[in-house]
Every structure is written in structure tokens, then in C-alpha cells.
Structure 1
């Protein structure tokens, strides 16, 4: 979500900056009628309707409009860069490192944007980096260098988001409620619509004097480097955690970790082998039910063809000679296929039984 001072509410409503309250209300009514989700079925209609409603909520209130105009005109913090808010959990960060090649600068930074001056301490998220290892490196252990993007604590405000005070103040736009009201009484009979406050992002508090370097979030985007050490005996999917090297938290909250996840190609079940195990799993329920019930025996013979093909895909990929594949990844794929196959096999048994009963019922009555 773009910040309050990044949006041009006048352009959104299509009115000049000196528009009267009546002109603003008229423009809002016209756009809202066209964009209301019950009328406009376009995929982006709901989002545009919310944006128009947000613009009207700010510009229709004299105090909020004056503050908005001040933020966009000459305020030293107007237009300060906003940054994604963090949420607990892991998500993929860009990686490259000296042995890995380039890295995507936007990876791990796709979370919804928070208002720049919002005071909302949240723990920083983890950054997950996938590291390719050979079978020998996984067996003997290896150190790998990784370069990745993350948020670190702002050096100018020491992570607090505020230059001179750590105390947040009540959001002047919403009065601390975290939401703003849009009077929709003149449209559709909807009454009052509540929306998340665009200045505090729903927290009800804002930084008293936002840091010009981080915009009040307490953190800035940087490129970091770290050495991830995988111990001997590492297997595909194993992780190594480096405390505090993930994303810094907002407004002084604790930071996340850097998580290195091993990718050992010799231990991965992919491509033909994975499809082969899954195909075999799908066919097994049909063959077993046919053997026990005697139903659709002809279809069971047909199932032998994909069954043999699945076994052939496994054998051609030499999967059985890879460590841990047969009873770990192979069995997992086999079970997934068997569950889906059993579902369809039971449906066929039920359908066949019903069909036979339908044809036999006239004879039973005689």
C-alpha cells in the first residue's frame, strides 16, 4: 500500500487542488457509482473503489486535507521512502554469493508496503537462501559465501525510526483509531465505510519526528554478505541458521535470521523419477480394488500400461541408486499418487455398482 504522501488524491478524484468541498463530493459520487464492485465487475474495480474512497475520506475533511497538503508540499519528511513491513515467518531472499552468480534485488521485498511514518514495531522476517552443494560437499561439510538483500537497522536513528525521541504520538489523521470513516450515505444507502488509515497503516500511532534516512521505519535496505557453514553429513533440505542476519525489525523490534537451505542435487527427486513414483502410486489402488472386488477387471489390465511406464521412468532416472530416495522422497510421491488414485478408484467402484444395480433391478422384480 502506497503511503499517504505518495498518492495524489486530487488526481485520483480528477479535481484541481483548489477544488471546493462540493466539487470533491460530486467527483467522488460519480467515480464511486462507476467503480462500486456490485456494479463494475472489472478485476481492479474493488481496489480502485477503495482508493477513491480513501481519497474522499481525506479531502472531504478540512483538517485531514490541510495535513495532506502540508505533507506533500514542503514537509522535510514528505515523500520519504516507505518500506515493506515485516511479518514473522520465512520467505525467500535473493541470493547469489561469490559461487552462485547474480541475485534478484527485489526477492524477499514483495510484502505489502506500510506507511513511512507509522509506528508499528514488528519483528523482522527471516531471509532464506538456497545453496547448491555437491554430494562430496554435503558429505564432508562446506563453507559457502552468500550475498543477499535485507533490511538492516538504520544507522542514523539506531533503529527507532525517530531522530530525537523514541516516543510515538497519536496519529492525527485517524485520532488513534487506526481507521478512517467514509460517509457513503449518499451512495447506495451504504452508510459509513471504515477504511485502514493511510498514514499510520492501522496502528493508530506515528513516529513523532521521522528519521530522514529511513522515513520512520527504523531500517534501510542493504546488500549483505555472510559465510554459511554446512556441517559434515548435510542432506538436501537441511538448514543452517545465523541469528540476527535476516531482516531488521521495524521501529527497534528484534531482527530475523539468515537461513541457509542446502540443495543437494544428487539427493533430490525431480523430473522423470518423481513422475514415475507418482504414476505408480495412482495405478496401485485400481489394481488392488480390482483384485479384491473383481470389478472393472478389464480396466485393471489397461492400468498395467501406465504402471509399467511409471516403473520405466524411475529406472531410467537411476533413482534407486541415489541415497535416501527410495524410502524418503520416492515413498512420499508414491503415497501422494495412491491417495489421488484411491479417490477415483472408489468413485468408479460406486459408479459400477450403481450401474449394475440399475440394469439388474427389473430382473430382480420378476
Structure 2
């Protein structure tokens, strides 16, 4: 595959070089729908679809886009924080995770050779890891939540490479011992003549600490066994769903590296009418927090133990009620009232513990004051 700076990703997506992230996303969505292999049966549709996905993956990420623009203009780009993942099919292939060659400017890599060329070299580390889940949130109306609905989603994920079928290698089925570190996954670098640090231990950049590498990395995925692409999934949200429910589509998350299992696509259901807002939660927690202090004060008055009317506590409770009412509390959903009760209960539990501690400390202080005169009288009698 051509190096990243040999392709005009702006032309591939049909956007200007100063296009915003939203414009880039819309352009990708339009082209992805037209070029998806399940829809477009043209011979070159799949290859063009991969190019569009590759272009979007670079231009939609701010750090990758800056790096790409710098490469196109011929200006060296250094320190691209949050760079590409090792083995990414977009042409990064940076074994240092997108931060560039840490030994650049000091004669290249200390163990000979011309150093790591981060713009062309691919990571061939054999590092099998299970793929992560892909999360997607969708808000439903009350009617949709009651009766259920179906949603189609187009999203980006790492999918199993079709060329090497996920192994990362074209011809060899098994990985080999990393020739750079000898299979230890670590290397010792002498920096005493440069920084005065002496010999330090670093993770091997070729195998990324695994001690094994792919002997002949796949030209499509760079040895990771997966490529970044756009996928579509249809999610059936069952009837009777509630805010916070999750619907999983097995195996439609990110593919694992070097043949490991894929994660799931997780659709997180949201029902706004059942959701307690942040303002409502804060107000209800304030009410719950000061209720125990009010109850303790009223109990002390009833038992004749002293104390006064809990005016301050009542003021804070009133403030909490006002805060909660700003977003409205006239909800018909029982789920909302249950969630509201949970918020107030959390505040009540914290307030109760603190109120009991204050009560215990007050009782101990009163006992000490009562016992002090007795001790003095006893001393005089003695």
C-alpha cells in the first residue's frame, strides 16, 4: 500500500483542505453509503471503499491530520501526540505509537542500521489481543421504548483483514522470535554519553514487548491482522427497554490483533423521560443530605435534650428542592421517580453518617463536662 503522504485524502473524500470535522464526516458518510460492497457491485467499489475509510480515519483525527498535512507539505512533523496504533493500515506503521523515532538526531537507532523510518516502516509485532467493544448511544422516545424499534448504524471499527484472514502474516502461520531483542521483549540502551542516565531498559520497538514478530507482515494490515474500515449493523431494540439498558451484537466490535476474538457492538439505550438530569440529581442529593440533620435536631427537641429549630438545615433543603425543580419534576415515568429516589437516598446515606458522628461527638462532650466537677470534688475530699 502506498505511503500515507502519497495519497490525496482530501480529493478522495471530495472536501477542501480547510474542511471542518463535520464536513469531513458528512462527506465520508455519503461516499461510504454509495461505495459499500454490499450496495455497490462495481469491480473497484471495495478498493475505493477502503480508500475512503482510510482517508476518513486520518482526516477525522486532529493529530493524524496535522501529521498528514505536514508530510504533504514536506515539513518534518515531530511529536504527534496520540498517533496511530502499531500496524495501522493507513500507512503509519510507527513502532513507537506515533511519537516518532526517539533517537532521531542522535545518529539513529543505537544498535546499527539507519534508524526507524516512522513514515514508511510497518510494525510487525506479534501481539495477540482481544478486540475492544464499540459503544454507541441512541435516545428513544417513550413510544419507541415501549414498543421496541430497529436502528441501522454505520460506524468505524477494526475489522479482520481479508488478505491474511487476521493472522497478520501472508505465508507463515507461526510467529518467529524477535531478532532485535532475542525474544525478551526488552532492550538495554546506553545513554550515558548523551544524557548521563547510564544504561536504561526500554521496550523493544520491533516486537512491542511481546518477544515475537510476524516474519512476513501482510501488506494490507501491516502485520496486525486487522484494518480500519466502516461497518454497518442493524440493532433490534426490544420492547419495554429503559434508560441505561444495553443491546449487544456479538462479534461486531473491534477485531482482535493477530487472530484474537472480536469485541461486541454495544448499543446503549437512552430514554430522556426516565433520566434524572445532573441538576435534578444535585438538588435531590442536597435534600437527602440535610434530612438526617433535620431529623436529629427535631428528635433532640422532642426528647428534651436541647438544641434549637433546624432553620439552617431547612434552608438548605429548600435550596435543594429549588435546584431540582429547575429542570422539572412533573414526570409520569415510574423509572424517573425511582432514579430520583436513588439520588436522594445517596445524599441521605452520607448525611446520616455525618449526623450520627456529630451526635456521638456531642454526647461525648456533654458527658465529659458532666464528669469534670465530680472529679474535682473527689479530689478535695481526698
TM-score, normalized by length of structure 1? Answer: 0.67
> Could you say which residue in structure 2 is the equivalent of 1:99?
none
Equivalents in 2 of 1:124, 1:281: separation in Å? 42
Higher CA-based Rg: 2
| Structure 2 residue ranges without an equivalent (≥5) | 1-84, 86-93, 378-382
Determine if contact 1:124/1:255 at 8 Å carries over to the other structure: yes
* 2:340 counterpart of 1:342: no
Residue 323 (1) aligns with residue 334 (2): yes
Match of 2:154 among 144, 147, 153: 147
User: Is residue 150–residue 247 contact of structure 1 (8 Å, CA) maintained in 2?
Assistant: yes
Greater mean alpha carbon deviation, residues 235-244 or residues 298-307: 298-307
Q: In the alignment, which residue of structure 2 is the partner of 1:101?
A: none
User: What is aligned with 1:226?
Assistant: 233
Listed as ranges, the matches of 1:76-95 within 5 Å are 78-80=120-122
Matched, 1:242 2:249: yes
Q: Secondary structure at the match of 2:117?
A: helix
Q: Tell me, what secondary structure is at the counterpart of 2:181?
A: coil
Alpha-carbon RMSD across the aligned residues, in angstroms, is: 3.2
| 1:281 maps onto 2:288 in alignment | yes
Partner Cα distance (1:250, 1:193) in 2: 29
In structure 2, the CA distance between the partners of 1:166 and 1:299, relative to structure 1 (3 Å rule), is: farther
Deviations 1:278-315 (A, max 9, x none): 11210122123334455784473311122233344445
Aligned to 1:3: 95
TM-fit CA distance, 1:124: 1.0
CA drift at 1:229: 1.4
CA distance in 1, matches of 2:180, 2:173: 20
1:206 Cα offset (Å): 0.8
CA deviations 1:183-203 (Å, max 9, x no partner) are 588999998643322221211
Matched, 1:302 2:302: no
1:27-176 equivalence runs, <5 A: 59=110, 64-66=111-113, 69=114, 72=117, 78-80=120-122, 116-176=123-183
CA contact (8 A) 2:131 2:254 kept: yes
Q: Distance in 1 between matches of 2:214 and 2:125?
A: 6
- Paired with 1:276 and 1:234, the residues of 2 have a C-alpha distance of 27
2:274 to 241, 262, 267: 267
Cα pair 1:282 1:338 within 8 Å, conserved:
yes
Is the CA contact (8 Å cut-off) linking 1:319 and 1:326 kept in structure 2?
Answer: no
| Structure 2 CA distance for partners of 1:165 and 1:236, relative to 1, 3 Å | same
Runs of at least 5 residues in structure 1 that lack an aligned partner in the other structure: 18-57, 81-115
SS of aligned partner of 1:130: strand
Q: Using the TM superposition, give the Cα deviation of residue 242 of structure 1 relative to its aligned residue in structure 2, in angstroms.
A: 1.0
Number of aligned residue pairs? 279
TM-score, structure 2 length as denominator? 0.64
2:224 equivalent to 1:217:
yes
Distance in 2, matches of 1:345 and 1:5, equals 52
CA spacing shift, 1:308–1:10, aligned 2, 3 Å: closer
Shift of 1:252: 1.0
2:333 and 2:152 mapped to 1: Cα distance? 27
Q: Distance in 1 between matches of 2:171 and 2:227?
A: 18
Q: Confirm or deny: 8 A CA contact 2:158 2:254 kept in the other structure.
A: yes
SS of the residue corresponding to residue 332 of structure 1 reads helix
Matched residue SS, 1:324: helix
How far apart are the structure 2 equivalents of 1:268 and 1:201?
A: 44
Q: In structure 2, what is the Cα distance between the partners aligned to 1:280 and 1:71? A: 61
Name the CA distance, whole Å, in 2 between partners of 1:283 and 1:150: 48
Q: Secondary structure at the match of 2:248?
A: strand
Q: CA deviation at 1:151?
A: 0.4
CA distance in 2, matches of 1:8, 1:164: 29
